[in-house]
A and B are shown apart, each in its own frame.
Chain A
Amino acid sequence: MEQQFDTVKIGMWLFLATEVLLFGGLFVGFGLMQQRYPREFVEAHEYLQRSLGALNTTVLLFSSWTMVMGVLAAKTNNKKRLVFFLILTIICAFIFLGVKYFEYSHKYEEGLLPGHFYSHKGDSIPGSHGYATFFSFYFMMTGLHGIHILVGIGLLAWIAIRANRGEFSEAYYTPVDLVGLYWHLVDLIWIYLFPLYYLIS
């Protein structure tokens, strides 16, 4: 059993490596575009709502903590606590998505949209493509991240249902552990996204 647990953990870490490389391409692209349009990127990021970003960061960090508490509960045969923490994690994920909804609708109202949908007025360098490019990357990266949060909600719900049925214990809590790893990665990606988009100056 231990060999199986070790093996499946290797598999999961390898999968997480592929996720890092997937997002990595976008980070590299963002960095290159920032070199190209430094002034526009700095100005564009002012349109992002720093407080909402900070709120989301807090929510996700908290959800990582609840996830860890869930894994600990599984390891110590504590079914009720496990289900409680998993549900708490799911609630955090929904809060995150809700905040994102508010952010996205604000962008839509202001015309701060990707590529040729960009229709914002009042930029310092009108006609420059830098603003549209910034928001292309903003929507692509937060969008891809959001998709991963959605998938995470699905995984957490599945684990929560199985936990409620009593499938996990000290002897077997592998799926909880693996979903936990996935969730921590999703959190980690946001930890990189947040300063990059919301805090550069």
Chain B
Amino acid sequence: MRGRGIESIEQDQNATVRDMEHTLTSGQRIADHPRPLKNYLNNDKGIWSWMSTVDHKRIGVMYLVGVMSAFLMGGTFALLVRLSLLNPKHMIFGKVIMDAETYNRMFTLHGVVMVFVFIIPSVPAALGNFIMPLMIGAKDVAFPRLNLASFYLWVTGTVMALTCMVTGAVDTGWTFYTPYSTTTTTNVSLMTMAAFVLGFSSIFTGINFVATVHKLRCPGMGFFDMPLFVWGIYATAIIQVLATPVLGITLVLLVLERTFQIGIFDSRIGGDPVLFQHFFWFYSHPAVYIMILPGMAIISELIPTFSRKTMFGYRAIAYSSIALALLGFLVWGHHMFVAGQSELATVIFSALTYLVAIPSGIKVFNWLATMYKGNITMETPMCYAVAFLLLFTIGGLTGIFLGSLSTDVHLTDTYFVVAHFHFVMMGGTVTAFIGGLFYWWPKITGRMYSEFWGRIGCALYFVGFNLTFLSQFFMGGQGMPRRYYNYLDMYAPIHRISTMGSWVLAAGLFTTLFTLLASLRKPMDAPDNPWGGTTLEWKAASPPITHNFETQPVLEREPYDYRPEPVAHS
């Protein structure tokens, strides 16, 4: 049974004022109980209690530390790649920065680490693990031990990748295209098996989350009462379960081809190199939806909260998430327009690519409509959410340019593509991830960060990102190919802008990192609900107790209902 929450019309008309009062004096309306002495962080002490934990919050924190370290590593590779491209001579202070073979390894490792070790786990495994069970009023995920196993698989895969990096690395590009990947002497087998292990980490997380969303929702929470973050994580989990095994078998086939020459991808012995591309992109296109759906899920939380307004088009966003997950399986060929597919296939894939853009567009318009006439405040999470709207729109739109066959013939394998996917993956997912991190930081750590430095970090990030990647659209349009070590002098000015932009971007990211780390030195005094959020995680303490809630929550309000809560009568 759900209460309606509003007793009279007068209350409704005064709702905005009272809402502001109650949320500005943050936490008092909801957290009238004293802060619990024992929370999930200090409940059990010692390294072993962390290494053997089955608490989704501790696992989420371990994943968070892990993926942020991976981001640091992948980012370092990126800065080195950009450094090499600073000028056509690859020189700085009179010395050549790196040779061509090293360059090939650098951009490959940047891609492999960012895609497999960082971005695919990032939002689901770090934030999703922590927040999603709280949001549905559950004590934990459906399979807590499987959750821990997922984490250890992630660690194992990462260690394998690190080992590969110091034993010859790989120079094939993160896409491992045949025939180069079956003949190069670099350590392709180890790296692909690392990706295989990481893939199973992803699969188990996906299985866990689907089961959790189906079976562990609190009383009163039907599917259409769930927060949109949960819808996004759920749609992502479906893709993780269905798509990742195909990558698994593809990589196994690649290793078998390298080791035993079984003849599936090598045309000299009867195989088809383009078959690899089909298998690879059948997973890797849905994979990009694994990357963006959680990011969109975070934005769907930030925008209503910081606009103090209910989400416009809740069902549209929920259905769009599922539509993206399903349609995402049908468009893999748009990565292969010039690979030698038939004309009929390319036309069909192009048409489907236009179709798959529609749910994303629906979401962007719904978010804007939510903000319209809302009571907007620009705390750091909202700064990132607004940045997302701009950057993701550019990224998505340029994907459409690439989806049209005649333009793709000119733009494919140029920096236009590089700029496009960095806009959606970094401008989209990473921006949303950082926004979500700031949003839920008080819940996870019990501390508030410095708003001033948080916003500075966002500003540097936004400016640096655009300098680095917006410039690359122009370079790509002029014909600069991707993955090239050498380039013509005509591209030098834009390369220089892009490289310097990467330094500003790095400054922004380090500012953000230090802002968050500095907050940990403050006492644990964040309120339970600093933002006046309406979803269930804000009813738990900051940080939560190990079992999340003192008593089983029962949902009594619609999602994103910003009307004041009914006053309890004694």
The residues of A with any CB-CB pair to B shorter than 8 Å are 3, 6-8, 10-11, 14-15, 17-19, 21-26, 28-29, 32-33, 36-37, 114-117, 128-130, 132-133, 136-137, 140
Query: Are A132 and B245 touching (Cβ within 8 A)?
Result: no
Query: Are B142 and A7 touching (Cβ within 8 A)?
Result: yes
- Chain A residues with CB under 8 Å of B262's CB are 114-115, 132-133, 136, 140
Nearest B residue to A32, CB-CB = B275
- Chain A residues with CB under 8 Å of B208's CB are 11
If A18-B244, A129-B263, A129-B269 touch, does A25 touch B279 (CB 8 Å cutoff)? yes
Determine how close the nearest CB of chain A comes to the CB of B330; give it in whole angstroms. Answer: 15
Determine how close the nearest CB of chain B comes to the CB of A148; give it in whole angstroms. Answer: 13
Encode contact with A along B196-226: 1 for CB under 8 Å, 0 otherwise.
0000000100111011001110000000000
Question: Can you give 30 contacting A-B residue pairs, CB < 8 Å?
Answer: A3-B215, A10-B142, A10-B214, A10-B215, A11-B142, A14-B206, A14-B210, A14-B211, A15-B203, A17-B242, A21-B242, A25-B250, A25-B282, A26-B253, A29-B275, A29-B279, A36-B272, A114-B260, A115-B260, A115-B263, A116-B260, A116-B261, A128-B270, A129-B270, A132-B270, A133-B262, A133-B263, A133-B269, A133-B271, A136-B260
If A7-B142, A10-B214, A132-B263 touch, does A37 touch B270 (CB 8 Å cutoff)? yes
Whether, in the assembled complex, B143 has its beta carbon less than 8 Å from a beta carbon of chain A, the answer is: yes
Please indicate which of the listed interface residues B208, B244, B246 has the most CB atoms of chain A within 10 Å of its own CB: B246
Query: Are B206 and A130 touching (Cβ within 8 A)?
Result: no
Query: Are A115 and B246 touching (Cβ within 8 A)?
Result: no
Whether, in the assembled complex, B369 has its beta carbon less than 8 Å from a beta carbon of chain A, the answer is: no
Query: Are A10 and B261 touching (Cβ within 8 A)?
Result: no
B245, B272, B275, B282: the one within 8 Å of A19 (CB): B245
Whether, in the assembled complex, B426 has its beta carbon less than 8 Å from a beta carbon of chain A, the answer is: no
Query: Are A18 and B245 touching (Cβ within 8 A)?
Result: yes
Docked Cα-Cα span, A15 to B240, in Å, equals: 11
Whether, in the assembled complex, B554 has its beta carbon less than 8 Å from a beta carbon of chain A, the answer is: no
How many A-B residue pairs have C-beta atoms within 8 angstroms? Tell me: 106
Query: Are A29 and B253 touching (Cβ within 8 A)?
Result: yes
Query: Are A115 and B261 touching (Cβ within 8 A)?
Result: yes
Whether, in the assembled complex, B249 has its beta carbon less than 8 Å from a beta carbon of chain A, the answer is: yes
- Chain B residues with CB under 8 Å of A37's CB are 270
Query: Are A14 and B207 touching (Cβ within 8 A)?
Result: yes
Determine how close the nearest CB of chain A comes to the CB of B518; give it in whole angstroms. Answer: 41
Determine how close the nearest CB of chain A comes to the CB of B55; give it in whole angstroms. Answer: 18
Nearest A residue to B209, CB-CB = A14
Encode contact with A along B255-293: 1 for CB under 8 Å, 0 otherwise.
010001111100001111001000100100000000000
A-contacting residues, B174-214, CB 8 Å: 203, 206-208, 210-211, 214
If A11-B207, A18-B241, A136-B263 touch, does A25 touch B246 (CB 8 Å cutoff)? yes
Whether, in the assembled complex, B248 has its beta carbon less than 8 Å from a beta carbon of chain A, the answer is: yes
- Chain B residues with CB under 8 Å of A128's CB are 270
Q: Which 4 A-B pairs have the closest CB atoms?
A: A129-B270, A136-B262, A115-B262, A25-B249
Docked Cα-Cα span, A8 to B146, in Å, equals: 11
Docked Cα-Cα span, A6 to B206, in Å, equals: 17
- Chain B residues with CB under 8 Å of A133's CB are 262-264, 269-271
Nearest A residue to B268, CB-CB = A129
Nearest A residue to B271, CB-CB = A133
Docked Cα-Cα span, A54 to B142, in Å, equals: 41
Docked Cα-Cα span, A117 to B242, in Å, equals: 34
Docked Cα-Cα span, A133 to B265, in Å, equals: 10
A7, A14, A23: the one within 8 Å of B241 (CB): A14
- Chain B residues with CB under 8 Å of A115's CB are 260-263, 269
Q: Which bucket holds chain B's interface residue count? A: 35 or more
Docked Cα-Cα span, A32 to B261, in Å, equals: 18
A8-B211, A10-B211, A14-B210 given; 17 more Cβ-contact pairs under 8 Å = A7-B216, A10-B210, A10-B214, A11-B207, A18-B203, A18-B242, A18-B245, A21-B243, A21-B246, A24-B246, A25-B245, A26-B249, A28-B279, A33-B264, A115-B263, A116-B261, A133-B262
Determine how close the nearest CB of chain A comes to the CB of B35; give it in whole angstroms. Answer: 32
Docked Cα-Cα span, A17 to B261, in Å, equals: 29
- Chain A residues with CB under 8 Å of B203's CB are 15, 18
Nearest A residue to B249, CB-CB = A25
- Chain A residues with CB under 8 Å of B269's CB are 115-116, 129, 132-133
Docked Cα-Cα span, A197 to B282, in Å, equals: 25
If A116-B269, A132-B270, A136-B262 touch, does A11 touch B143 (CB 8 Å cutoff)? yes
Determine how close the nearest CB of chain A comes to the CB of B561; give it in whole angstroms. Answer: 27
Nearest B residue to A15, CB-CB = B207
- Chain B residues with CB under 8 Å of A17's CB are 241-242
Docked Cα-Cα span, A11 to B206, in Å, equals: 10
Encode contact with A along B355-383: 1 for CB under 8 Å, 0 otherwise.
00000000000000000000000000000
Determine how close the nearest CB of chain A comes to the CB of B192; give it in whole angstroms. Answer: 14
- Chain B residues with CB under 8 Å of A3's CB are 215
Docked Cα-Cα span, A17 to B210, in Å, equals: 13
A10, A15, A29: the one within 8 Å of B264 (CB): A29
Nearest B residue to A40, CB-CB = B270
- Chain B residues with CB under 8 Å of A140's CB are 253, 256, 262
If A10-B210, A11-B207, A25-B279 touch, does A117 touch B245 (CB 8 Å cutoff)? no
Query: Are B260 and A117 touching (Cβ within 8 A)?
Result: yes
- Chain A residues with CB under 8 Å of B282's CB are 25
- Chain B residues with CB under 8 Å of A36's CB are 270, 272
Nearest B residue to A28, CB-CB = B279
- Chain A residues with CB under 8 Å of B215's CB are 3, 6-7, 10
- Chain B residues with CB under 8 Å of A28's CB are 279
Please indicate which of the listed interface residues A6, A26, A115 has the most CB atoms of chain B within 10 Å of its own CB: A115
- Chain B residues with CB under 8 Å of A10's CB are 142, 210-211, 214-215
Nearest A residue to B200, CB-CB = A18
Determine how close the nearest CB of chain A comes to the CB of B87; give it in whole angstroms. Answer: 44
- Chain A residues with CB under 8 Å of B272's CB are 32, 36
Docked Cα-Cα span, A21 to B282, in Å, equals: 11
Docked Cα-Cα span, A33 to B157, in Å, equals: 32
Docked Cα-Cα span, A49 to B275, in Å, equals: 30
Determine how close the nearest CB of chain B comes to the CB of A182; give it in whole angstroms. Answer: 14
Nearest B residue to A20, CB-CB = B245
Docked Cα-Cα span, A36 to B272, in Å, equals: 10
- Chain B residues with CB under 8 Å of A117's CB are 260
Determine how close the nearest CB of chain B comes to the CB of A93; give it in whole angstroms. Answer: 23
Docked Cα-Cα span, A8 to B208, in Å, equals: 9
Docked Cα-Cα span, A7 to B138, in Å, equals: 14
Determine how close the nearest CB of chain B comes to the CB of A169; give it in whole angstroms. Answer: 23
Docked Cα-Cα span, A6 to B241, in Å, equals: 18
Nearest A residue to B265, CB-CB = A29
- Chain A residues with CB under 8 Å of B214's CB are 7, 10
Docked Cα-Cα span, A17 to B271, in Å, equals: 28
